[in-house]
Structures are given as C-alpha cells and as structure tokens.
C-alpha cells in the first residue's frame, strides 16, 4: 500500500515552471530555464535576438540541400537534428508560436542544407527574445476562440498548402496545429474547405460546452450566437445536430468564402515585401496576445 501526501502547490512539471495566482484564478506555464539551457548548449546565448522565427516570405525547399558530397559531409557535423528535436519539445509544451517554423525545418532532417541550418539558428535567436514568455490560463473570460489560416501551395517541393489553427479557452491555447494538407488544391477557396480545422470545434463540442455553461450561469438571459466564415459552418453544424434542444434565442451564420488577393495581383512585389517585413513583428505581438503568451 502507498500513502498519498500533499506536497503543496506544484511549481515544476516536465521542465515547465508553474506560477499560480489563486486570487485572480490564473496559472502560468513557462520553460525559461530549459530555453536558456538550449541556447547555451548550441552556443546561441550571446547572439542578437530577432522578432520573428522566420523572415518574411521564407520558403525552404530540397533545392537548398547540398549538391556535392563534400558539402554534405560538412553539414552532417552540425547538430541540426538535436536542435530540431529540442525545439519540438518546447513547441509542444509552451512555444506554439514556432509551430509554422518547426514544420518547415523538420522536413529536412535527412538532407539539410546551409540555409536550413541558418533558419534553425534564427529560431533559436527568436527563442532568446521570447524565453521569458509564459502561457497563461484562467481569469474571468470563459470563451472558446479559434484562429485559422492557410497559405497557397507554400511547399515548393510538393506544391501543397499549409494549414494552421489554434483554439484558446480562457485565453490560453488548448489545441494547435500547423501541417501540410494531404492533397494539392487549385484555388484559395479549396484550401479553406480542406482545412482540418473546418469542423474541429464541432467534434470537440466546444460550442456546445460553452453555450451550456452560459445557459447554466444565466438561465433567464436570452443567448444569441453569431458565426462568421468557418465559424458559421461550425455553428450551422451545431444547430443541425441539436435541433430544438439548444438554449439559444437566435443565431446568425455569415459565410464569405472569397479571399482577397489584392496583394498578389495589384500590388508590386517589391512594395509587398517591404510591407510584410514591417508587418510580421507586429503580427507576432498580436498573436502572443491572442494565445495569452505573457512575460513572467
């Protein structure tokens, strides 16, 4: 027989530090100690930090792999695989903001090129800039939010598109994915409908759970649901499954499948490149706020 005993509030698990504030009902998870250990191991601790893990319009491909045996042997001595595995663990636990970058570099574990290794080092420089950020759960906002996007044939080797999404609950990310789609699509509209996120909120029953919670907390107040874009399809699916049993006074689904391609068609590439270089750091700050990544 084993006896259980109370060791007090937890402060560490799986190389993650835990910080709790019971008064505000919040909990933070960070890996700053482990991240600093990684930076020192790969001699990146004193490098200049960067604001994004990937540069604007970065596209990696197998054409960047070595073309001769001498270069291949030289690059085989780099700790590429070890660095990618270390960063993968961090990505799964607390650094969801590097998911897209890790999806790019993990494709070239067996045949890496110099540019692939440079991108891994850039990710480490981004880690240095954001090592003190922690993912926060809790507070008064019991709301499920989902963010999804796709590029168009971003993979230069397979001509496939990449889908990425993140779902948050109480502002902390609980479900996230960034991966290649399984088929080649011919238009931006097809990309959105091929996304695995399309019905993700439906099968996880997030909407059903949130509406049931709100109805329990405010049984007299009328509830109204509004869904836009992919959220509209998920809302319609929920309404169809539950029928007359839903505690909703009214629902509106607004779906607009058209994508604006003005940047590709009518703005010069040079101007767009300058705009993207300026926009990426701003977008990452917004993303950190959406996923509740906060300095600890």
Residues 223 and 211: beta-carbon distance below 8 Å: yes
Structure tokens that stand for 79 in this block: 């700790």
Q: How far is CA 191 from the centre of its chain?
A: 18
**Residue ranges of domains in the chain:** 11-140
Residues 246 and 219: beta-carbon distance below 8 Å: no
Residues in a beta bridge with 225 = 251
Q: What is the pTM of this model?
A: 0.66
Contacts 24+ apart (CB under 8 A), 202-208: 202/234, 202/237, 202/238, 202/241, 204/167, 204/175, 206/144, 206/167, 206/169, 207/144, 207/234, 207/235, 207/238, 208/238, 208/242
How many other β-carbons are positioned within 10 Å of the β-carbon of residue 78? 16
Strands (E), the chain: 12-13, 16-21, 26-30, 133-138, 144-150, 162-169, 172-180, 224-228, 250-254, 293-295
Could you report the per-residue pLDDT of 202-253, keeping only the tens digit for each?
443 667 777 777 778 778 777 777 776 666 767 777 777 776 777 777 777 7
* Spatial distance between the Cα atoms of 225 and 232, rounded to a whole number of angstroms: 10
Residues 270 and 236: beta-carbon distance below 8 Å: no
How sure is the predictor about 69, in pLDDT bands with cuts at 50, 70 and 90? confident
Rounded to an integer, the average pLDDT of 265-289 is: 58
Q: Is the pLDDT of residue 192 over 50?
A: no
pLDDT of residue 231: 65
pLDDT of residue 128: 94
Structure tokens that stand for 29 in this block: 């998870």
pLDDT of residue 2: 74
Q: Is the pLDDT of residue 185 over 90?
A: no
By CB neighbour count within 10 A (0-12 exposed, 13-18 middle, 19+ buried), where does 203 fall? exposed
How sure is the predictor about 127, in pLDDT bands with cuts at 50, 70 and 90? very high
Strands (E), 128-161: 133-138, 144-150
pLDDT of residue 202: 46
Rounded to an integer, the average pLDDT of 174-186 is: 62
Phi, psi torsion values for 74, nearest 5 degrees: -65, -45
Could you report the per-residue pLDDT of 30-54, keeping only the tens digit for each?
999 999 999 999 999 999 999 999 9
Question: Which residue from 127, 97, 134 is spatially nearest to 11, judged by alpha carbons?
Answer: 134
Say which DSSP state 199 is in: G
pLDDT of residue 152: 61
Residues 143 and 265: beta-carbon distance below 8 Å: no
Rounded to an integer, the average pLDDT of 278-284 is: 65
N-terminal to C-terminal alpha carbon distance within the chain: 40
* Spatial distance between the Cα atoms of 247 and 93, rounded to a whole number of angstroms: 36
Most confident of 142-146, 225-229, 256-260: 142-146
Helix 114-130 crosses helix 32-41 at what angle (to 10 degrees)?
A: 140
Better-predicted residue by pLDDT, 281 or 264: 281
Q: Is the pLDDT of residue 198 over 50?
A: no
Rounded to an integer, the average pLDDT of 163-168 is: 77
Most confident of 16-20, 248-252, 268-272, 274-278: 16-20
Count of residues in the chain: 296
Better-predicted residue by pLDDT, 65 or 279: 65
Handedness of CA 264, 270, 274, 280 (dihedral sign): positive
Better-predicted residue by pLDDT, 153 or 175: 175
pLDDT of residue 8: 81
Structure tokens that stand for 124 in this block: 């480490």
Structure tokens that stand for 206 in this block: 């997030």
């Amino acid at each position: 027989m084993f006896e259980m005993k109370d060791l007090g509030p937890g402060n560490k698990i799986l190389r993650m530090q835990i910080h709790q504030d019971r008064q505000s009902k919040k909990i933070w998870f960070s890996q700053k100690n482990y991240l600093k250990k990684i930076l020192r191991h790969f001699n990146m601790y004193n490098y200049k930090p960067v604001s994004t893990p990937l540069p604007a319009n970065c596209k990696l491909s197998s054409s960047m792999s070595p073309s001769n045996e001498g270069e291949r042997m030289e690059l085989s001595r780099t700790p590429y695989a070890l660095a990618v595995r270390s960063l993968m663990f961090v990505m799964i636990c607390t650094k969801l903001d590097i998911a897209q970058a890790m999806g790019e570099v993990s494709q070239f574990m067996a045949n890496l090129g110099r540019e692939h290794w440079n991108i891994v080092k850039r990710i480490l420089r981004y880690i240095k800039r954001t090592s003190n950020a922690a993912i926060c759960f809790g507070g008064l906002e019991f709301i499920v939010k989902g963010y999804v996007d796709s590029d168009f044939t971003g993979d230069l080797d397979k001509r496939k598109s990449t889908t990425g999404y993140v779902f948050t609950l109480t502002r902390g990310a609980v479900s996230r994915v960034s991966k290649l789609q399984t088929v080649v699509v011919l238009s931006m509209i097809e990309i959105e409908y091929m996304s695995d996120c399309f019905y993700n909120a439906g099968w996880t029953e997030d909407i059903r759970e949130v509406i049931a919670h709100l109805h329990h907390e405010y049984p007299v107040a009328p509830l109204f649901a509004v869904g836009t874009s992919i959220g509209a399809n998920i809302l319609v699916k929920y309404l169809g499954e539950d029928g007359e049993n839903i505690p909703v006074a009214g629902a509106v689904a607004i779906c607009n499948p058209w994508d604006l391609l003005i940047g590709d068609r009518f703005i010069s590439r040079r101007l767009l490149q300058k705009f993207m270089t300026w926009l990426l750091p701003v977008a990452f700050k917004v993303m950190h706020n959406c996923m509740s990544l906060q300095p600890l």
